[in-house]
Chain A
Amino acid sequence: MDFTYDDEQGALREAVRGLVARTYGEYENRRRTVASDPGYDERLWGQLAEMGLLGLPFGEDDGGSGATWVEAAIVLQELGRVLAPEPYLTAVVQAGGLVADVGTAEQRAELLGGLSSGERLLSFAHASRRWSPSASGVTASQDGDTWTLQGRIDAVPQGANADVLIVSAETPAGTGLFVVPGDAVERSGHATYDGGRSARVVLGGVAATPLGDAGADQTSAIAAALDRTIVLGANEALGIIEQQLVDTTAYLKSRKQFGVTLNNFQALTFRAADMYTSVELTHSLVAWATMVAASVAAGERDSEQLSDAAARVAVQLGTAGRHVGQEAIQLHGGIAMTAEYRVGAGTSRLTYLEHLAGDRGHHLNELAAVVADHGALDPLAASVLGSAPVTAEVGS
């Protein structure tokens, strides 16, 4: 087990950090960017494409860069640190990941090639009951070789701007996935609370191309995409809470009240210490889950390990994200309530990330249902659920 980045990964982190700092180092630029459509900086998106970052997790045959989810995670941490509103998580990780898993060779080359080069923005349009991988609300009908979709999706990330929608829909086999051009649907976009963009998409019998096997059930592929979204989204969240801690400690050292800087008050410094503890524990779990995701993608571990790791990250982040996000505001006092100041925007974005693909309560329930099925957890075994090293005792 090794948590350190190799030289290339370290260089990647520095490069991304430098690039996004040029755009969003000044928080005012982020504010300005999210104030008008499309809610992110298309020039920066183009630069990310030029650096090969939009295609990081995809194979070179598909127009990607042939790296892994670990590298994508490095990018997301740096985006999180500056609250970059670029839709990396939803376009690359979620929609792109689905295409990579499910698409035919031709579809992968076309869609992932376009995504990686920055020419096509992808988005996953999924109507379902609260984070269920099964579609509900959109139905697909088949007539010979033609498929049409009917229904409505209330919140599609970047839905009004996306070039290509990957739409989930009920089919006789379960849930299918379909490719629909963005401009073929009726869509109305709006800004979400975190400064992002979302859209209501109405499908009135629009023609659609099946992604991958026509008529196959893609529920498990969607579940994997949601799990990866949690794990990779947790990397963005980690960047956010790390930065919130940095901002909070800097503020405690500079803000004066009662004639002294605030770090003279132990009631505050101890709370900062607790924030640090939350951040460090989260860091470890997120890094581990990211390695699990990469390992599952490489076929070294089965996909159940991904869903277990995602659930664990969601549970941890649900607590730590709120802890750090709320304390960061409280320890700043009134200044953090203003939109000019970035700390509160971080807390807003953390909330979005929590609710994108399955929150703490949802995953706590899932883990609780199977908690009796394993012994002590063992991160150094071939599966964390372990070989249940039950140490038998005499007489029991």
Chain B
Amino acid sequence: MQLQLTEEMQAFREEMRTFFTTQVPQEIRDVVLQGRELSRDQIVQSMQILNAAGLAVPHWPSEWGGRDWTDLQRHLWNEEMQAAGVPAPLMFNAGMIGPVIAHFGTPEQKQEFLPKTANCDIWWSQGFSEPDAGSDLAALRTTAVRDGDDWIVNGQKTWTTLGQYGDWIFTLVRTNPDVKKQAGISMLLIDMRTEGLEVRPIELIDGGHEVNEVWFTDVRVPGANLVGEVDGGWTIAKFLLGNERVGVAPVGATKQALARAKRICADLIAEDPLLRARIVELENELLALELTALRVVAHSAGGEPHPASSVLKLKGTELQQAVTELVVDLAGPAAFALGDDEASDEAWFRRSVPTYLNFRKASIYGGSNEIQRQIISRGILGL
């Protein structure tokens, strides 16, 4: 057992901190730290800066830009990135389809997509969920039927996050309706400019436009855009969702949000012992969670997520939500005010309730927290 970081790791951490705080523009980082909405350009710009320095996709295979880091190095990279307010590399690219193509793709697909994916030259969307296929993802009904070498896709995806920015969408489609539902699914990569593909906005409870419906009417997809085997999509989906579970709990960002709340509301907190106790509890739980992340990553073998990573998703999102809730209570009636200077504390108060409402999503997506309990009770406890 060892409490202290080695000198080498301290130096690594320092290197990350210096890079993130000096190379990524302050204007972008302020947006993140203040909890405002990033523009497409800001996300792309930031990811390209990281990619140029080899810091966008460190966990990919080394021939495609990976760094062969230890789990601890990856943790430090992630922590420092969040502490500095650097936007995380686009999850759909860096965390989802990139690793899938690197693992399951053909040499041509790797050549064609991986460099552009790492550099965010392609913005990917995730086309998995459908109106009748949520937690029961394998119930999906969007079909792909052979036409010569091509596939013809019909159906509807939904909840497509930032689909309005998407260049390409990776989809799960039904290629065989006559077998067990998991056994008839394939993965297709689809250019979102193809004729017959339509993106329609969904307004969320915070008033924002973050997700979309994506409709497919006789969309023609070249056979070369199939990933893996025909009807082999479920294995790929499980691989991808396992990674999602690990990536989805941003401990560092939650810590920063809490520290920021303490700073901005210092006077209020100084007067109120109940608020202070609530903050201590949150800090303590975040500490236990971060230590668990450090303890669990150290045991993840061969890229497979440790089953206990469900704890990280479950607790991580609960704490993320609890901090947004605290901020709502700190803001109180101050959230009714105009707050027209977006960088001001007044605007931060005004945004508190939309942010709180928005983050109810965290326990629904990425495998809902009920599904995580299922993974724990079945996969770990054997119940």
Contact surface of A with B, Cβ cutoff 8 Å: 1-6, 9, 70, 245, 249, 252-253, 263, 266, 269-270, 272-274, 276-277, 280-285, 287-288, 290-292, 294-295, 300, 312, 315-316, 364-365, 367-369, 371-372, 375-377, 379-380, 382, 384, 389-391, 393-396
Partner of B376, one of A6, A70, A277, A284: A277
24 A-B contact pairs sorted by A residue (CB < 8 Å): A1-B2, A1-B3, A3-B298, A6-B1, A70-B1, A269-B377, A272-B381, A273-B372, A277-B314, A285-B291, A287-B291, A288-B3, A291-B2, A315-B284, A316-B284, A316-B285, A368-B280, A369-B276, A377-B290, A380-B5, A384-B287, A389-B17, A391-B33, A395-B343
Cβ-defined contact, B280 with A364, below 8 A: yes
* B97: min CB distance to chain A, Å: 30
Cβ-defined contact, B27 with A394, below 8 A: yes
The 8 A-B residue pairs with the shortest CB-CB distance, nearest first, are: A284-B291, A269-B377, A368-B276, A273-B376, A273-B373, A2-B2, A291-B3, A376-B259
Q: Give A382 to B27 CA distance when docked, in angstroms.
A: 30
Number of contact residues on B: which range applies?
A: 35 or more
Interface centre among B281, B288, B374 (most CB of A within 10 A): B288
In the complex, which residues of chain B have a beta carbon less than 8 angstroms from the beta carbon of A379?
287, 290-291, 294
Q: Give A364 to B382 CA distance when docked, in angstroms.
A: 36
* A223: min CB distance to chain B, Å: 19
In the complex, which residues of chain A have a beta carbon less than 8 angstroms from the beta carbon of B258?
376
Cβ-defined contact, A394 with B30, below 8 A: yes
Stretch at the interface among B158-166, B186-194, B265-273: B265-273
> Given A263-B383, A287-B291, A364-B277, A372–B315 Cβ distance below 8 Å?
no
* B229: min CB distance to chain A, Å: 34
Partner of B76, one of A280, A294, A376, A380: A380
8 Å CB contacts to A: which residues of B57-103? 72, 76, 79, 83-85
Whether B181 is near chain A, meaning CB under 8 Å from some CB there, is: no
> Given A249-B382, A393-B34, A312–B377 Cβ distance below 8 Å?
no
Whether B286 is near chain A, meaning CB under 8 Å from some CB there, is: yes
Whether B205 is near chain A, meaning CB under 8 Å from some CB there, is: no
> Given A269-B377, A287-B291, A371–B3 Cβ distance below 8 Å?
no
Whether B21 is near chain A, meaning CB under 8 Å from some CB there, is: yes
11 new A-B contacts at CB < 8 Å, known A70-B1, A364-B280, A393-B30: A273-B372, A277-B376, A288-B3, A291-B2, A291-B3, A316-B288, A377-B283, A377-B287, A380-B79, A380-B294, A394-B30
Q: Give A396 to B34 CA distance when docked, in angstroms.
A: 11
Whether B292 is near chain A, meaning CB under 8 Å from some CB there, is: yes
